[in-house]
Amino acid sequence: MKTQQLQIRVSPHQKAALRRLAAAADLDVSAYVLSRALPPATDRFAGVLEALHESEEPSYALAELSDLLAGWGAGEFVEGTGRADTGGLSPLVGNYVAAMVEQAAHLKGVTVPPWTRQVAPLERPWFATSMRAVRLHLLGAAPVPYKRRNLFVDAGIGARV
């Protein structure tokens, strides 16, 4: 339920443009501005997955996904992660996304989205480092959803290393 009001200052030209865009989207101006400023959870999740599909270096998009999943409440999480297009992602990135979503579901006390079961675990272990001395640590430290997918990392959702 919306109980607060927010005013923004815009020029007459900007106001007219917002009205045109809102009408084209079949929304009132408030709903249009809100949809752009605070997109629905499904759009935000899909946007991160799209960035992962397009990226040669996925670390930034994975960090964005971690922040997104950590910041959502249970309801937003369920809404946002209900469907995912992981086809086209490398097996490593697809498993990383699935593990992140599985861990977030556990932390939020909700059911894991069914699509994660369609992502086959990696055939061979993948370690976040090539340093042999650290690998032993990662074998024990990796969160369970990552271990199940043969991913050995030091931290999961919401952590920065």
Residue 89: per-residue pLDDT: 95
Residue 160: per-residue pLDDT: 61
Residue 161: per-residue pLDDT: 56
DSSP character at residue 111: P
- Entry field: residues in the chain: 161
Closest CA to 159 of 72, 67, 77: 67
Mean pLDDT for back-to-back runs of 10 residues, the chain (161 residues) = 84 93 89 79 90 92 94 92 92 97 97 97 96 92 96 80 56
3-state helix, strand, coil in the chain (%, to 5): 60, 0, 40
Contacts of 38 by beta carbon, 8 Å cutoff, 6+ apart:
none
Residue 31: per-residue pLDDT: 84
How far is residue 156's CA from residue 149's CA, in Å, rounded to a whole number? 13
Whether 150 contacts 123, CB under 8 Å = yes
- The domain locations on the chain are 1-38, 41-152
* pTM, rounded to two decimals: 0.77
Question: What are the beta bridge partners of residue 151?
Answer: 126
Q: Is the dihedral of CA 127, 150, 55, 68 positive or negative?
A: negative
Residue 1: per-residue pLDDT: 65
How far is residue 140's CA from residue 142's CA, in Å, rounded to a whole number? 6
